[in-house]
Amino acid sequence: MASQEGQQHPLSIYFWIWGLLFVVSFFSYMVDYLHLQGNLRWTLILIFMFVKAGFIVAIFMHMKWERLALKLAILLPPIAILVFIGLMAIEGDYTFLTRIEFFGESAMVPESPHH
Q: How many whole angstroms separate alpha carbon 64 and alpha carbon 58?
A: 5
Tell me the per-residue pLDDT of 63-80, one tens digit each, with 9 for 90 and over: 888 888 888 888 899 899
- Burial (CB count within 10 angstroms: exposed 0-12, middle 13-18, buried 19+), residue 36: middle
pLDDT reading at 2 higher than 60: no
Residues 6 or more apart whose Cβ sits within 8 Å of residue 75: 63
Q: What is the pTM of this model?
A: 0.63
pLDDT reading at 93 higher than 80: no
Among 72, 63, 73, 56, which residue's Cα sits nearest to residue 7?
63
Which residue type sits at 1?
M
What pLDDT, on a 0 to 100 scale, did the predictor assign at position 62?
Answer: 85
pLDDT level of residue 27 (50, 70, 90 thresholds) = very high
